[in-house]
Amino acid sequence: MEYLDIYTDKFKHIGICEKKECHTKGYWHKVITVLAINPKLRKVFFQRKRPKDNIITDNNALLDFTVGGHIQAGETEEQSVREIKEELLEDVMLSQLVFLGIRQTAATVTENYIANEFQYVYLYPSDKTLEEYEVNGEEIARLVEVDLEEALELFYDEKSEITAREKFLDGENYVINEKKITKKNFMECYQIIDEFYKRVLIAAKRYSDGEDKKYIMW
């Protein structure tokens, strides 16, 4: 079973709880969110998670940040980057990431799934291209590369669609397809209220422009 540290909404630790119960009762807990970027090529990478029925469509596999997951009970921030290893199949140290801050977010996804989360948000700068990333096909069904400036133009409604490249496993071989995407291909919850996608993309642009990372926040 998977256990999480739980907190009050004021970030006071109050105990440990099994993950399913944590979401059923709406306990506050920690998660990690990472956007991989290539600052030199000015590319950003999103993921399509594998749906339970294994059928990938634009409706059931929306674009999410590159890496995301729960921080386990007792895990330090340094240890929580194991999520990158699990999803992108590469070892990364916390020192390689750019910390953008903690986002406090509350959402009732379903009647029995309440996501009250302290979201630790990072950029993962790397010179790797889409061709160089591995996709295990399990947690991440497809890895999606988008031009940074075009992504911002999309979320600022300056473009209605942009071109993306998707990488996925077809049997034992990797395939890269090009396709058009719109804002409807992204999770709606990150487009409303605090416009989370837009804010993290702005942070990615500032980092790619050479700003001092200690002044960059989501």
* The pLDDT of residue 59 is above 80: no
Cβ–Cβ under 8 Å, residues 66 and 45: yes
Token reading at 169:
């496993």
pLDDT of residue 170: 85
In a domain, 217, yes or no: no
Phi, psi at 81, each rounded to 5° = -70, 0
In a domain, 207, yes or no: yes
- Of the candidates 126, 130, 1, the one whose C-alpha atom is nearest the C-alpha of residue 73 is 1
Strand, helix or coil for residue 50: coil
**Rounded CA separation 113/32 (Å):** 18
Token reading at 159:
């473009």
* The pLDDT of residue 53 is above 60: no
Identify the DSSP state of 214: G
pLDDT in tens, 109-118: 888 899 999 9
Identity at 126, one-letter amino acid code: S
In a domain, 216, yes or no: no
- Of the candidates 117, 116, 124, the one whose C-alpha atom is nearest the C-alpha of residue 100 is 124
Percent of the chain at pLDDT exceeding 70: 94
Structural domain tally of the chain?
Answer: 1
| Residue ranges making up the domain that contains 171 | 3-211
pLDDT in tens, 61-81: 799 999 999 999 999 999 999
In a domain, 218, yes or no: no
Q: What number is the average pLDDT over the span 86-90?
A: 89
Q: What is the DSSP string of 106-174?
A: EEEEETTEEEEEEEEEEEEE----GGG----SSSEEEEEEEEHHHHHHHHTTS-S-EEEEEEEEETTEE
Identify the DSSP state of 60: T
In a domain, 92, yes or no: yes
In a domain, 125, yes or no: yes
pLDDT of residue 50: 65
The CATH number of residue 62's host domain is 3.90.79.10
In a domain, 23, yes or no: yes
pLDDT of residue 213: 96
In a domain, 17, yes or no: yes
pLDDT in tens, 146-190: 999 999 999 999 999 999 999 998 888 999 999 999 999 999 999
